Amino acid sequence: ETGVTQTPRHLVMGMTNKKSLKCEQHLGHNAMYWYKQSAKKPLELMFVYSLEERVENNSVPSRFSPECPNSSHLFLHLHTLQPEDSALYLCASSQDWAPVPGFSTDTQYFGPGTRLTVL
């Protein structure tokens, strides 16, 4: 798990708090992803960044705000969350070949996740 790291591993926050999740990849990849994993629900893709540009925003509420300052780092800023936002948040990275977007066979590698509890 040293390829993709996530901090913190556990986070408990109130509905009025503001917090941030951090993801860092050490694999030299140029695409990064945020997923939400809730109990008894399929893995939900939230955001995708390719070459530091957001290429997918999967109808995620505005209380989740991603930031990708460079190809190695990805943040998820959280504010005024709801209890139903409690979940495991997973970060992943892969190589997305440009200038042919999407024509990549490379694998997504995942971090260990941040277990978020919203009280």
Residues in touch with another protein (CB under 8 A): 1, 4, 6, 31, 33, 41-43, 45, 48-50, 55-56, 90, 92, 94-96, 101-113, 115
Give the nearest distance from C-beta 90 to another protein in angstroms: 6
Q: What is the DSSP letter of 76?
A: E
Amino acid (one-letter) located at 88? L
- Residue among 7 and 18 whose Cβ is closer to another protein: 7
Distance CA 69, CA 72 (A): 8
Distances (CA, A) of 115 to 22, 35, 43, 119: 12, 12, 14, 13
- Residue among 43 and 119 whose Cβ is closer to another protein: 43
- Residue among 80 and 112 whose Cβ is closer to another protein: 112
Residue 103: count other Cβ atoms within 10 Å of its Cβ. Answer: 9
Unique residue bearing structure tokens 């277990």:
115
- Residue among 76 and 90 whose Cβ is closer to another protein: 90
Give the nearest distance from C-beta 80 to another protein in angstroms: 27
Instruction: Give phi and psi for 105, each to the nearest 5.
Output: -100, 5
Give the nearest distance from C-beta 16 to another protein in angstroms: 27
Give the nearest distance from C-beta 97 to another protein in angstroms: 9
